Structure 1
Amino acid sequence: MDLRAVSRRVGIAAAVVTVVALVAPYALISGPEYADQLASYYASGVVGWGGIALFALLSGVVIASVERGNVEPGTLAGVAVVLGFATTLSAATWAVAVEPSSVFRDHLWLVWHAPAVVALSVPLPLSAAVYARELLS
């Protein structure tokens, strides 16, 4: 098994899955009565949902571009590790800062949304670290 290729694919997939899970409430919760509550839900934390999505997508792009050869691969692999950890750390601070509102009462699954986003982001730094280790060894 080629651990380098597998960890690269897992990192890219984890980045995409994190962003899809992050924006899921926008697709699943409708109604003007929830607009303000969802806005405050997503604005929680240090960087909010936009920062988490940016870090995750940027991590996926960096992991995918290491093999292209435009920049020294070891440098990009290190950047991917840092961005992966930034994604998970941002998601964790966001999950801790979320304040429950009445939208949680009507959509009980939303209570588990932020912790699920954090859990889905964990494979991103781990796979980036494995990828960097395999690339540099």
Structure 2
Amino acid sequence: MDLRAVARRTAIVAAVVTVLVLAAPYAIVSGSGYADQLAAYYVSGTVGGAGVVLFALTSAIVVGSVERGNLDPGTLAGVGVVLGVATTASAALWTLAIEPSPMFRDNLWLVWHARAVVAVSVPVPVAAAVYAREVLT
């Protein structure tokens, strides 16, 4: 088993899954009365949901581009780790800043949604760190 390739793919897939899980309420929550509440849900915190998406997709791009050889692989792998940590940290800060709204009463799964985003983002920095270790050895 090639740990380097597995860790690389895991980091990329975890970052994409983080974005998909984060976007789930857009696809599931319906009703015209929820538009403002859903917008407030995503802008909670210092970076909001958009910051989580930005960090997650950027980390996927960086980890995916290490093998291209355009920059020093060790440096780029380290940047991937930092972006992975930023993804999980921003997801956790976003989760802590969310204020429950009436939308939560009708969609009880939203109570756990933000925590699920944090949970699926955890493999991003872990896999990126394993990948960086393999690149540097």
Q: Same fold (TM over 0.5)?
A: yes
TM bucket (normalised to shorter chain) is over 0.9
Specify the alignment match of 1:130 in structure 2.
Answer: 130
Q: Give the deviation of 1:31 after TM superposition.
A: 1.2
Aligned length: 137
For 1:46 and 1:3, the matched residues in 2 are separated by 35
Q: Which runs of 4+ in 1 moved over 3 A?
A: none
Q: Which runs of 5+ in 2 are unaligned?
A: none
Quick one: percent identity of the two aligned structures? 69
For 1:73 and 1:32, the matched residues in 2 are separated by 48
For 1:23 and 1:67, the matched residues in 2 are separated by 29
Alignment deviations for residues 22-60 of structure 1 (CA, whole Å, 9 cap, x no partner): 010000011110001001100001101111000000000
**SS across alignment from 1:9:** helix
Please tell me whether residue 110 in structure 1 is matched to residue 115 in structure 2: no
Q: Kindly report which structure 2 residues correspond to 1:54-93, keeping only aligned pairs within 5 A, or say none.
A: 54-93=54-93
What TM-score results when the alignment is normalised by the length of structure 2? 0.99
Please tell me whether residue 20 in structure 1 is matched to residue 20 in structure 2: yes
For 2:46 and 2:92, the matched residues in 1 are separated by 10
Please tell me whether residue 2 in structure 1 is matched to residue 2 in structure 2: yes
For 2:45 and 2:127, the matched residues in 1 are separated by 25
For 2:78 and 2:46, the matched residues in 1 are separated by 23
**SS across alignment from 1:36:** helix
For 2:17 and 2:130, the matched residues in 1 are separated by 19
For 2:47 and 2:108, the matched residues in 1 are separated by 25
CA root-mean-square deviation:
0.4
